[in-house]
């Protein structure tokens, strides 16, 4: 076992839980989870992962949901700092990868500023795993030689207004649609709420209305649903199907491969997770 796999008191471990299926957490992430004295977890972390914690572990839900009550980011950071200064083995369990639209970078910077040692354990991001397990390779020699991953949601005024004249309160103001229209494959995380505006502006920037699009709700889990369509109609199709977060949107020619490559066996959640040591 690598030395980093053994938790140290007073250290915060920023661990990616993976895209939804608890079996997709990394070996190192699971080993650390099983040692933690306190776990602060996001909303979408599987209960089966939390069941892997040791007896007596304090489990704190700090998850955020659209429109729901949740601790402010600063509260989460201060809680991490307090727990570490108390000499506990602290694990911050974040959906996907901590550094991909998970605000893990903000937490790491705050820990560094507070002189709290931390260890990052990358996770499998939903941006790649969800499409892959839905039969959509994000790159392909003949269909896609470029890839962009963006968030479809951000706080108003949290980004400078682009020179194209978009309004500061526009939740998509952080995106350069002219640049995105030229990218072969675009993956949008947290994009359900503003899907219609996103699709419209991408077309206005030059993307063909008949570009294939897939929306994958609850990817890699038994609750997975997939809606496919064309860019011009995908928002209506998603609304008709009542697609809700979490959902991953994939835009590009590679989506057409879904009908051929989608696995015959649907996603399944194991009833338990075996120890990495085989116990």
Task: With beta carbons less than 8 A apart as the criterion, state whether 108 and 14 touch.
Answer: yes
* Annotated active-site residue in 5, 64, 176, 184: 64
Cβ count near 106 (within 10 Å): 13
Beta strand 118-121 with 185-189: parallel, antiparallel or unpaired?
unpaired
Residue whose tokens read 């959509």: 136
Question: For residues 144 and 211, what is the distance between their CA atoms, to the nearest angstrom?
Answer: 13
* Annotated active-site residue in 7, 21, 42, 94: 42
* Annotated active-site residue in 94, 97, 170, 190: 190
Sheet holding 225-230, edge to edge: 147-151, 185-189, 247-251, 212-217, 225-230
- Per the DSSP assignment, residues forming a β-bridge with 94 are 16
Question: For residues 239 and 216, what is the distance between their CA atoms, to the nearest angstrom?
Answer: 13
Question: For residues 122 and 98, what is the distance between their CA atoms, to the nearest angstrom?
Answer: 7
Whole-number CA gyration radius for the chain = 20
Helix (H, G, I), strand (E, B) or coil at 93: strand
Question: For residues 151 and 198, what is the distance between their CA atoms, to the nearest angstrom?
Answer: 11
The H or E element that residue 187 is part of is strand 185-189
Task: With beta carbons less than 8 A apart as the criterion, state whether 40 and 241 touch.
Answer: no
C-alpha to C-alpha distances, 240 to 199, 233, 235, 237, 244, nearest whole angstrom:
16, 11, 9, 5, 11
64 is catalytic: yes
Q: Token pair of 118, please?
A: 């931390």
Residues marked as catalytic: 42, 64, 190
């Amino acid at each position: 076992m690598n030395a980093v796999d053994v938790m140290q008191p007073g250290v915060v471990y920023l661990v990616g839980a993976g895209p939804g299926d608890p079996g997709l957490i990394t070996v190192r992430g699971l080993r650390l989870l099983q040692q933690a004295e306190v776990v602060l977890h996001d909303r979408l972390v599987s209960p089966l992962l939390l069941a892997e914690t040791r007896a007596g572990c304090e489990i704190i839900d700090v998850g955020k949901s659209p429109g729901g009550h949740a601790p402010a980011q600063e509260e989460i950071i201060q809680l991490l700092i307090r727990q570490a200064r108390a000499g506990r083995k602290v694990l911050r369990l974040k959906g996907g990868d901590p550094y991909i639209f998970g605000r893990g970078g903000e937490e790491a910077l705050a820990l560094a500023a507070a002189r709290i040692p931390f260890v990052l354990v990358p996770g499998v991001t939903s941006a790649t795993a969800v499409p892959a397990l839905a039969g959509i390779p994000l790159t392909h020699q003949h269909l896609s030689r470029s890839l962009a991953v963006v968030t479809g949601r951000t706080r108003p005024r949290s980004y400078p207004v682009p020179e194209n004249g978009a309004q500061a309160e526009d939740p998509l103001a952080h995106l350069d649609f002219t640049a995105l229209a030229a990218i072969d494959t675009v993956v949008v995380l947290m994009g359900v709420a503003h899907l219609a505006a996103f699709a419209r502006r991408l077309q206005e920037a030059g993307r063909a209305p008949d570009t294939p699009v897939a929306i994958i709700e609850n990817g890699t889990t038994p609750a997975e649903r997939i809606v496919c369509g064309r860019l011009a109609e995908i928002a209506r199709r998603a609304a008709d199907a009542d697609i809700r977060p979490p959902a991953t949107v994939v835009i590009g020619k590679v989506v057409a491969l879904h009908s051929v490559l989608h696995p015959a066996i649907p996603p399944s959640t194991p009833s338990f997770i075996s120890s990495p040591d085989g116990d």
